[in-house]
Chains A and B, each alone.
Chain A
Amino acid sequence: MADTLQNPNPKISAYYQTRADHHGVVTSDWLAQAQAAVGRHPDDLPPPKVEDSGKPFSVIDEFNSWRKQPDLAEAVAAIRALASVIRFSQATTMMELEIELKKASDSLKSWDTTSISLTAGCDLFMRYVTRTSALEYENFNSAKSRLIERAERFGEISYKARRIIAMLGQDFIFDGCTILVHGFSRVVLEVLKTAAQNKKLFRVFCTEGRPDRTGLRLSNEMAKLDVPVKLLIDSAVAYTMDEVDMVFVGADGVVESGGIINMMGTYQIALVAHSMNKPVYVAAESYKFARLYPLDQKDMAPALRPIDFGVPIPSKVEVETSARDYTPPQYLTLLFTDLGVLTPSVVSDELIQLYL
Chain B
Amino acid sequence: MPDVQVLVNEFIIKLKKRKVEGSQATARMTAELLRSVISQQRVPYNNQAGALIDAIKAVGEQLIAANPVELAVGNIVRRVLHIIREEDLSLATAAVAGLNLSAVSDDEDDGEREDHPVLSAAAVAAAARSTLRPPSLQTLLEDMPDSAAVPQSSSSGGDSEGKSKSADKSSRSRKLKHDIIEAVNELIQDIATCHEQISEQAVEHIHQNEVILTLGRSRTVMEFLCAAKEKKRSFRVFVAEGAPRYQGHVLAKELVARGLQTTLITDSAVFAMISRVNMVIVGAHAVMANGGVIAPVGLNMVALAAQRHAVPFVVLAGTHKLCPLYPHNPEVLLNELKSPSELLDFGEFSDCMDFGSGNGSPLLHVVNPAFDYVPPKLVSLFITDTGGHNPSYMYRLIADYYSADDLVVQRRPASGN
Contact = CB atoms under 8 A, between A and B. Distances in A.
A20 to B, nearest CB: 29
B328 A172 contact: yes
B140 A340 contact: no
B137 A354 contact: yes
Contacts of B392: 343, 345-346
Nearest to A171: B328
A350 interface: yes
Interface string A327-349: 00000001000111111011001
A161 B392 CA distance: 24
B140 A343 contact: no
B326 A334 contact: yes
B291 interface: yes
B413 to A, nearest CB: 15
B122 interface: yes
B140 to A, nearest CB: 6
Contact of B326 (A341, A351, A354): A341
Interface stretch (A152-160, A236-244, A298-306): A152-160
Nearest to B408: A167
A354 B328 contact: no
B145 interface: yes
Nearest to A147: B141
A124 B140 contact: yes
Contact of B135 (A136, A171, A172, A340): A340
Contacts of B328: 171-172, 174
B144 A353 contact: no
Contacts of B135: 338-340
A346 B395 CA distance: 8
B134 interface: yes
A164 B137 contact: no
A66 interface: no
B82 to A, nearest CB: 16
B126 to A, nearest CB: 9
Contact of B140 (A131, A286, A334, A342): A286
B136 A353 contact: yes
A174 B137 contact: no
Interface string B386-406: 000000100110000000100
B141 A343 contact: no
Interface residues of A, number: 33
Interface in B122-141: 122, 134-138, 140-141
A289 B136 CA distance: 11
A343 B291 contact: yes
A193 interface: no
A293 to B, nearest CB: 17
Contact of A287 (B140, B142, B396): B140
A16 interface: no
B212 interface: no
A339 B133 CA distance: 11
B137 A286 contact: yes
Given A342-B395, A343-B392, A125 B141 contact: yes
B290 interface: yes
A160 B329 contact: no
B289 interface: yes
Nearest to A289: B137
B396 A349 contact: yes
Interface string A245-281: 0000000000000000000000000000000000000
B146 interface: yes
A128 B141 contact: yes
**Which of B141, B142, B328, B395: most chain A Cβ within 10 A?**
B141
A341 B289 contact: yes
Interface string B325-338: 01011001000000
Contacts of B395: 342-343, 346
A27 to B, nearest CB: 35
A153 B140 CA distance: 11
A164 B145 CA distance: 10
Interface string A110-132: 00000000000000110010011
Contacts of B329: 172, 174
A150 interface: yes
A124 B144 CA distance: 15
Contacts of B122: 136
A128 B140 CA distance: 9
A304 B331 CA distance: 44
A334 B136 contact: no
Contacts of A353: 136-138
Interface string B350-377: 0000000000000000000000000010
Contacts of A164: 145
A169 B136 CA distance: 18
B119 to A, nearest CB: 18
Nearest to A336: B326
Given A172-B328, A340-B404, A351 B141 contact: no
Contact of B137 (A150, A172, A345, A350): A350
Contacts of B332: 174
**Which of B137, B138, B396: most chain A Cβ within 10 A?**
B137
Given A128-B142, A160-B146, A172-B328, A343 B137 contact: no
A160 B145 contact: yes
A115 B200 CA distance: 52
A154 B137 contact: no
Contacts of B404: 340
A163 to B, nearest CB: 10
Interface string B45-87: 0000000000000000000000000000000000000000000
**Which of B291, B328, B392: most chain A Cβ within 10 A?**
B328
B396 A154 contact: no
Contacts of B136: 339, 350, 353-354
Given A334-B290, A339-B137, A346-B395, 13 more contacts: A124-B137, A128-B142, A136-B122, A157-B144, A164-B145, A172-B328, A287-B140, A334-B326, A342-B395, A343-B376, A343-B392, A349-B396, A350-B137
Closest 3 CB pairs of A and B: A345-B392, A354-B137, A128-B141
23 contacts: A124-B141, A128-B141, A128-B142, A131-B138, A153-B144, A157-B144, A160-B146, A161-B145, A172-B326, A172-B328, A172-B329, A334-B290, A338-B140, A339-B136, A341-B290, A342-B395, A343-B290, A343-B376, A343-B392, A353-B137, A354-B136, A354-B137, A354-B138
